[in-house]
Structures are given as C-alpha cells and as structure tokens.
C-alpha cells in the first residue's frame, strides 16, 4: 500500500511539473505571437546572432545571442513577470532558450513556432538595422556613486544595458524628468558594472532608484510611465 501511494505521489509531482512548464512556455504561430506582443510591458527577444539580427528582425526586439558566452547572464537581467516573446531563425534556438527562461523563473513565455521565417511567411514585417558598435561604458565604484548621491539633492540611478530595448525607451523619459524636475540622472551600465547588481539588489533591467537627500525613496523596474515616476518624485 505504501509503495502504491509513493508511486502515485511521484506521478502527481511529475504531472504538476509538466503542467507548470506548459503553462509558462507556449509555442504559438505568428498571428498569436503578434497579438501577445501587444500585451502591456511585453518584451520581444531575438536569440539569433548579431549578424542575423541586423539583416532583418521584428520591430522592438532585443537581441541576445543564444551562442553568446553571457547569454544566460543577460537573460537573468530581463524582467521575469511580464510577457516574453522569443524567436530565432526557425524555432530550434528559441525553444532551447525558452526552456532556460523557464528554469530562471520567467512566468509567461511565447515561443514563435517556425521562427522569423514563419513570421515573414504570414505577411508580417521585419526591419533592418545598422550594426551598432557597443560603446565603452564608464565603470563606477561604490564610493563614486555615494559621493554623487551626497552632492546632489535628487537623483535617479538608472541601471540599464546597451542591448536592452526597454532601457533605451526609458532614456528620453528620464531626460524629460531631469529637465523638468531638477533631478540628476546617473546611468549605470550593468555590463560594465556587474558588481553593482548585488550591491543595489538589481533583479532586472531597466531599474530606476530615486534618492532624495541620499536616502532611497522608491524604485521601479521595466517600462514605467512618466506620470507615475513624477508622482513618486513629488
């Protein structure tokens, strides 16, 4: 009897595990992929190489090369509680990437069945990009950041990377706030300042921490409307 109960328990656990995986990862066609890409705060990730990406990609996609040595490290910086849409050339790399995302705790992943080829075959557009050279970012010490916070009354620490599309979208929003509210912005590239992730407990990018008189007042992550940030600052 105990043996039967044990077997039942193991089967139950496996069933729950498989159900959890199937719920967090969904393989979808191009039409459903496009529909889900319009969800609030959704992020599109192209896991092809940089060369493949610039030759034609889905609008607003972030490029994280599956074959890159830092692939998993970069994925771990992506916000995990928003819809993630992943694709590659034909679906192989994106399927493996989706499994990695599931292991990292992503809660809603849509994998494009057939890859970008299926996307184009369905009549959806792709755009071409110029090969953007990565700029050398400044490395900041904790001491330098502390001095900056002490010397400025209102500060937003902007934790981001050069490859993160949501980070790029937040830049003009932060610039407007800086000009309108006399708030200093200190942008910190986490690819160049990896140790700052632990120091400031950064779980995803972009993350923005607002300080007033050297005290943390609030923090936000992902795409945030300007009005919400201003209300917090006020």
Catalytic positions: 88
Distance CA 150, CA 164 (A): 29
In order of 140, 171, 190, 200, 223, the CA distances from 195 in angstroms are 10, 22, 8, 9, 23
> Residue 128's CB: how many other CB atoms inside 10 A?
9
Residue entry with tokens 């190489």? 49
Are β-strands 154-160 and 184-189 bridged in parallel, bridged antiparallel, or unpaired? parallel
């Amino acid at each position: 009897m105990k043996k039967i109960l044990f077997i039942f328990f193991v089967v139950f656990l496996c069933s729950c595990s498989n159900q959890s995986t199937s719920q967090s990862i969904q393989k979808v066609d191009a039409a459903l992929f496009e529909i889900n890409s319009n969800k609030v705060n959704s992020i599109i990730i192209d896991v092809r190489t940089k060369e493949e990406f610039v030759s034609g990609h889905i609008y607003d996609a972030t490029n994280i090369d599956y074959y890159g040595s830092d692939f998993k490290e970069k994925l771990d910086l992506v916000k995990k509680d928003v819809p993630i849409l992943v694709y590659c050339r034909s679906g192989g790399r994106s399927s493996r990437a989706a499994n990695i995302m599931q292991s990292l705790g992503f809660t809603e992943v849509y994998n494009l069945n057939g890859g970008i080829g299926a996307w184009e075959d369905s009549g959806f557009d792709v755009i071409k990009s110029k090969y953007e050279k990565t700029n050398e970012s400044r490395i900041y010490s904790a001491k330098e950041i502390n001095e900056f916070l002490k010397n400025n009354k209102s500060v937003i620490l902007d934790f981001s990377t050069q490859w993160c599309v949501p980070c790029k979208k937040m830049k003009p929003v932060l610039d407007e706030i800086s000009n309108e509210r006399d708030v200093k912005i200190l942008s910190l590239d986490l690819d160049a300042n990896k140790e700052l992730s632990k120091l400031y407990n950064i779980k995803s990018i972009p993350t923005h921490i607002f300080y007033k008189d050297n005290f943390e007042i609030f923090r936000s992550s992902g795409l945030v409307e300007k009005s919400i940030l201003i209300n917090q600052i006020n």
